[in-house]
């Protein structure tokens, strides 16, 4: 099945992914690949308050967050955070 959405990974996310434990990093890569098929998986993609274009997904036994922005018009998904829960939302203002 061909990818329906173009997934872009913010440059800072590469560094964040390298800092994750191996099992969590592998799970994050799987989630990112899945975003190309469906950026809104039921019960997994949760929209952030105050911005209906930004979503989060839990991974790594709910210890980590993948945060991404969806552009419906261009059918793109931009992953811009892959962090532990405690720091995932710091400095995040109306992305």
The string of pLDDT tens digits covering residues 52-67 is: 799 999 999 999 999 9
Q: Residue 2's pLDDT is what?
A: 55
* Cα 22 from Cα 42, distance rounded (Å): 26
Reported as a pLDDT band with limits 50, 70 and 90, residue 50 is: confident
Percent share of the chain, pLDDT over 90: 78
Q: How many residues does the structure list for the chain?
A: 95
**Which residue from 65, 30, 64, 33 is spatially nearest to 55, judged by alpha carbons?**
65
Strands (E), the chain: 6-9, 46-48, 51-59, 64-71, 76-84
pTM of the prediction? 0.89
Per-residue pLDDT, averaged over 34-45, amounts to 92
Q: Residue 52's pLDDT is what?
A: 76
């Amino acid at each position: 099945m061909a990818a329906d959405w173009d997934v872009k990974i913010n440059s800072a996310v590469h560094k964040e992914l390298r800092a994750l434990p191996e099992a969590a990093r592998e799970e994050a890569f799987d989630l990112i690949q899945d975003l190309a098929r469906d950026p809104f998986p039921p019960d997994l993609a949760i929209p952030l308050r105050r911005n209906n274009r930004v979503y989060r997904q839990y991974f790594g036994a709910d210890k980590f967050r993948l945060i991404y922005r969806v552009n419906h018009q261009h059918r793109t998904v931009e992953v811009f955070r892959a962090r532990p829960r405690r720091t995932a939302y710091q400095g995040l203002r109306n992305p």
